Amino acid sequence: MDASQTQKTSSFQNAIAAVEALSTEEQTLLIQIIQERLQQKQNKQVASDIKDTKGFQAYLASKQKRFEVYKNLADS
């Protein structure tokens, strides 16, 4: 195990110990907060992916139009 993995393991162990020291109600609240943050992060990623997809679709549409113009010129 390298130093980075050892540090991560130690950090996780410390985090687990801190969570276990919380009351059941506090643990439940912490889980809810983490779930909400993960959902927000996922929503942001989906929105970003949609934006990227729309941008790519617009790029492809412009390429298609350009191709059609060139094709029409060649056919004339």
Please tell me whether the overall predicted TM-score, pTM, comes out greater than 0.75 for this model.
no
Q: Indicate the length of the chain as a whole number.
A: 76
Q: Which domain holds residue 70?
A: 3-75
Distances in Å between the Cα of 37 and the Cα atoms of 12, 30, 42, 56 are: 19, 11, 9, 28
pLDDT for 34:
94
How many domains are contained in the chain?
Answer: 1
Full pLDDT tens readout for the chain, 76 residues? 677 777 778 899 999 999 999 999 999 999 999 999 999 999 898 888 888 888 888 888 888 888 888 778 888 7
pLDDT for 51:
83
